Amino acid sequence: MKIAKKFGVLVGSLLLVTGMGVAQAADTSTATMPQIKVAVVNVQQVLQQSPRVAELSKKLESEFKDRQTKIGDEQKSLQDELDKFKKDSITMSQKDKDAAQKKIAADRADLVKKVVAYQQDLQKEQNKIMQGILGDMNSIVSKIAKTESYSLVLDSQAVIFAGDGTDITKDVAKEFNSKTG
């Protein structure tokens, strides 16, 4: 029991001495280190409220509208074909059933290929647009950070607290929206 008590006192005093040394080191290191100026920007807010992004989104939507409509029509046609088969299969010969099932399977496989190609093309275009947008966003944030002498700019969504005067979202949004795509 006495050994445990002595050990506890020894560990406690070592922690106290170590803590004091760390505090003194922190005091002397902050005195010689330059002040770090940090800003935050809400990238998601800039993108969601940007007329430029809305315009690009509408352009992309209109570009893919015809393909989307065509795929929707083909899906409806396939569903109608499937419903007709279910209704008529009772009176069909086995040979006609097999031929109808084969046609439905081929139509379904064709439709799946078209949907996959459509999704891949849409994703590729979205990524191309986002790369341009984020490239512009990064250059705007860098420009503002250099102009205002910020050492670090963080996305405000990743920050729990930021003091007044460190949010540059409005400045970024103004500059971002003034650029033309």
Domain with residue 149: its CATH number is 3.30.910.20
Q: What is the pLDDT of residues 77-119, one digit of tens each?
A: 999 999 999 999 899 999 999 999 999 999 999 999 999 999 9
How far is Cα 155 from Cα 151, in angstroms, rounded to an integer? 14
Q: Containing domain of residue 153, as a range?
A: 34-178
How far is Cα 86 from Cα 116, in angstroms, rounded to an integer? 27
Q: How many domains does the chain have?
A: 2
Q: Which amino acid is at 158?
A: A
Q: How confident is the model at residue 180 (pLDDT cuts 50, 70, 90)?
A: low
Is the pLDDT reported for residue 4 higher than 60? no
pLDDT at 107: 95
Q: What is the pLDDT of residues 120-150, one digit of tens each?
A: 999 999 999 999 999 999 999 999 999 999 9
115 plus 138 within the same structural domain: yes
